[in-house]
Structure 1
Amino acid sequence: MIETILTLGIAVAIAVALWYFLKNVGKLIINSVVGIILLLAFKFFNIMGMGDIPVSLASILICALGGIPGFVILLLLNALGINV
């Protein structure tokens, strides 16, 4: 009996997490794409003298997962002299 209640609780928790993720997936994708575009635009146009941001797999993943806040973190790290 307790196993059934526990299984139903876990199933409901997974369903709620999936619903929340799928509800916000559009916003997450747009944020990720904008972050990557900002990274490439800053690199290509050398905006604000920050064109020396290295475009590596790590920086692309940070922008893809973090979006605009990830890009801002890369800018701050670059301003402090830390390259990712």
Structure 2
Amino acid sequence: MSSIIVNGSPIQDFTPEQTDYYFTLDSNDREVPSVTAVTEDPNATAAIWLPAAVPGIVYITAKAKIVLGETIQEYKIKKAEP
């Protein structure tokens, strides 16, 4: 995974090793954010599960093929508390 984009903005200081992130919404914003996962490996895939409502947790599962199978990394994105 090379980047996670929430509502059109990349998560700052993203590193593939860190798996929990927070995003900020305006206090009046109750819409589930749009989330895009960008993979750096053309053989990698990313699945995104969005919550039904805010607050909620966005789950991303990234999979990449390696020589002896596949590697899986899971990420969680949560709404930051004001």
TM-score, length-scaled by structure 1 = 0.21
Q: TM-score, normalised by structure 2?
A: 0.21
Greater relative contact order (CA < 8 Å, ≥ 6 in sequence): 2
Identify, as 1 or 2, the structure richer in helix: 1
Q: Pick the structure with greater CA Rg.
A: 1
